[in-house]
Amino acid sequence: MTELVLKVEDILAEKFKEISSQKFQGDDALTFEFALKSLLSKDDLDMRRLGQIIEQIQDEVEINGGITDEEIDAHIAAYRRQKSARQLI
């Protein structure tokens, strides 16, 4: 195990101690470990957020009457044509 010493603003140190006391029974090491793991799992959070965005889009499409497979194919084809035209410029 490695000992870590950090210098932070007093207000941040106070907030850290408050969180440590309230949620981790004053275990500063556990509090720091949890905070670090939360930051490291950002990719997981990003994927969950992407899932939420997709669900919102799906709900909006459904509310507005949906979209057929043919319409999706037409939109994809139009996008690819536009993308190819931009690459030629």
pLDDT of residue 39: 79
Look at residue 36 and tell me whether its pLDDT is greater than 90: no
* pLDDT at residue 44 is higher than 90: no
Cα distances from 64 to residues 43, 61, 73, in angstroms, run: 32, 5, 18
Q: Where are the domains of the chain?
A: 10-40, 44-88
| Residue-averaged pLDDT of the chain | 89
Higher-scoring residue by pLDDT: 54, 47? 54
Contact by Cβ (8 Å): 31, 24: yes
Q: How confident is the model at residue 48 (pLDDT cuts 50, 70, 90)?
A: confident
With H, G, I as helix, E, B as strand and everything else as coil, classify residue 18.
helix
Local structure of residue 25 (DSSP, 8 states):
T
d(CA 83, CA 80): 5
Instruction: Specify the pTM.
Output: 0.46
